[in-house]
Structure 1
């Protein structure tokens, strides 16, 4: 499969939609009150879960798009930077999926029968109060923090390329002027 020299509009739109939704998701998650055992999900939790599912769908779509529309690494980067960039991108994909899936396990563990998107009920990934649900659901916060750290690294690298190296790498994901 031939690699494109730059990201297309679809890749850019998916990227920036995911960025905006993740920003909203972290804000809601951070501001959401603690969930007491046996409590039903409130509107903030239902919104949090709905956004998480949208992010999960978009990241899977973005991943599939990337597989079938690969973009050549910037040939101006040293080999170590290309490898590190590719690694961070795969880490981001993995952590987004891990965060969404552990959140889904958490909701299943709580026994929440939710229909956050167009009334379609979510399948339960584990039995309510199961040991597996408690274990995997407990990883949700750790996955979220890991994702936040990986996003910070990604953003820092983008700014370093834009303002220190001035090598126009970041422009590959920005809208064309």
Structure 2
């Protein structure tokens, strides 16, 4: 018997607008910062190379801050229900948390490399303080940074493959969870 005082909320069918914005901005910055370092590596030492590294480092710092914001937001805002079988839900969660991990590790190790004895500029607006010169730490950070990039590539490709599978094979509308409502749908 309904009493009119039912306070249960229907399960969300999509991520909040804030979560969507943080997701797409992070993705855009990630797809920008990767080519910046590839371009930088192809220039000889000099101002042009420094410019491309400045962009790479600045976007990397931005991604770090966005991922921290995403994790903070996600803690207070649960994800929408996932219609996948439990095993696929585990794979999706591992992929998402793996992405969060590598997108935090990469900027930290990048900072340990770039800030090894010098400040790290942020879009030329200000600089993060450098760390005391520590060559072994710089070498370790470089090794982790360079090798973790492959985890980024693999996890992003897995994420994209899952999205393609949901859109093209299952056609279950799961991508809609990360898009603004269309035609007044919530």
TM range (shorter): 0.7 to 0.9
Kindly indicate whether the alpha-carbon contact (under 8 Å) linking 1:14 and 1:62 is maintained by their aligned counterparts in 2.
yes
| Equivalent position to 2:79, from 71, 74, 77 | 71
Q: Tell me the SS of whatever aligns to 1:156.
A: helix
Q: Give structure 2 stretches of 5+ with no counterpart.
A: 1-8
The separation in 1 between residues aligned to 2:42 and 2:108, in whole angstroms, is 20
Which protein has the larger Cα radius of gyration, Structure 1 or Structure 2? 2
Kindly indicate whether the alpha-carbon contact (under 8 Å) linking 2:20 and 2:178 is maintained by their aligned counterparts in 1.
yes
Q: Give structure 1 stretches of 5+ with no counterpart.
A: none
Give the total of aligned pairs.
172
Q: Does 1:155 align with 2:160?
A: yes
Kindly indicate whether the alpha-carbon contact (under 8 Å) linking 1:25 and 1:51 is maintained by their aligned counterparts in 2.
yes
Residue number in structure 1 paired with 2:19: 11
Distance 1:118 1:36, change over 3 A: closer
Deviations 1:71-124 (A, max 9, x none): 1331x2101011111111000000100111111111023x33223156332133
| Equivalent position to 1:140, from 142, 145, 154 | 145
Q: TM-score, normalised by structure 1?
A: 0.87
Residue number in structure 2 paired with 1:115: 121
Instruction: Report the RMSD for the aligned CA atoms in angstroms.
Output: 2.3
Q: Tell me the SS of whatever aligns to 1:115.
A: strand
